[in-house]
Amino acid sequence: MHAPHRRAQGGFQMPYWLLAAILISVLIMWNIIADQGYQTIFWALMRGVTTTIYVTTVAFTLAVILGLVMAVLRLSPLRWVRECATFYIEIVRGIPMLVLLFYIAFVGAPWFVDAFNWATGPLQANGLMGELTVRMFDFTWRAIIALTISYSAFLAEIFRAGIEAVDRGQIEAARALGLKRKHIFRFIVAPQALRMILPPLGNELVAMIKDSALVSALGVQDITQLGKVYSASTFKFFETYNVVAFLYLVMTISLTLVVRWLERILGQADRQSSTN
């Protein structure tokens, strides 16, 4: 007896969780359209969407680059390189995001300014360079640096797991054929590792969108900060945080659906290549 198919051939079945999320979103959207108070809140918070997307995009891009570098160093044949990369990853992963955010903003930035001014002291004395002050460091960039450092450690382990999951026999065969290391990584390791790390990579991006709300602790004008300021001045906490939650849900659920779509595309490509 054949098991029933969960979806029709070539069709699509709406998940119940997605249907429930859409219904809640429609309800909130209706309130935004029909209620003047909700409209005011919505447009007041929309200014923070740009900041949230900007912080997340820049921080995640930098975290991917730094995480990939750390993953490669973690796989280095030199022990001291592996130990240094492992030290960075384990220390960063053990520090809470909010603590790291405060540390970078209020400890790391002043240290960097002092070190920069000390290194460029002769140039400043001759008038060739101005003195750097802490106020020149925008809090938005302090938050971006903190998110980059924190997520690079987690992404490094994701990249490392994906690279190590590639069959060693394929790498050895490529070496036997005379391919260089950069070509092996580009044409053999990277495509296969990407398919395996795409789901956790998407999960980390969704998590960063949510963790970007922590930058409001530094006064960065993101969605959460604007919602906090607006609700404190109007005492409309229920309506304001409904809109705040709605904006985050739209971004995170949309991104989740895009990641799942990419997974299906890559899965179909794998099946087609295996049948051919």
The ranges assigned to domains in the chain are 47-267
Confidence band, pLDDT 50/70/90 cuts, at residue 3: very low
Euclidean distance between the first and final Cα of the chain, in Å?
Answer: 30
Q: For residue 220, is pLDDT > 60?
A: yes
Mean per-residue pLDDT over the chain, rounded: 84
Q: Are 240 and 226 in contact (CB under 8 A)?
A: no
Supply the pLDDT for residue 11: 52
pLDDT at residue 39 in the model: 86
Note if the pTM is more than 0.85.
no
Give yes or no for residue 194 having a pLDDT over 70: yes
Cα dist. 113→120, 127, 172, 183 in Å? 11, 18, 48, 41
Which pLDDT score is estimated for 16? Answer: 79
Task: Check whether 243 has a pLDDT greater than 70.
Answer: yes
Superfamily of domain 47-267: MetI-like (1.10.3720.10)
Q: What is the rounded (10 degree) CA torsion for 218, 222, 227, 232?
A: 30
